[in-house]
Amino acid sequence: MDKRYQRIYAAIAAIPAGRVASYGQIAARAGLPGRARLVGTALRDTPDGLGLPWFRVLHADGTIALPRGSRGFREQTKRLRAEGVDVRNGRVPMAAFGLDADLDRALWGLN
């Protein structure tokens, strides 16, 4: 098993419920800055038996990576909503649900 993949999986597993993260953020947290694509590759062939919260990973702009209307797309939308994440038109407001939402609130004074 590739050590990089393990770190990526670990980073994904660390996303708290009700929160989402971008591929780039995961890459950075896995010690692989700038390798967002690798996260995509790792996620693509992830055995779903690991109970990995793959659905909490989105594009940097908050859109769902899978093609609209696809099986995975619906599944992801469904699971996110089940956690209370606001999914509108295939997109999640990162400012409110992203990993750095807390930091953002602190910096921008939002709430």
Q: Which residues bind DNA (CB under 7 A)?
A: 2, 22-25, 34-41, 43-46, 54, 57, 59-60, 65-66, 72, 76
Contact (CB, 8 A) for 83 and 11: no
Q: What is the DSSP string of 36-47?
A: HHHHHHHHHT--
Least Å from the CB of residue 49 to DNA? 13
Least Å from the CB of residue 102 to DNA? 18
Q: SS3 of 91, please?
A: strand
Least Å from the CB of residue 12 to DNA? 10
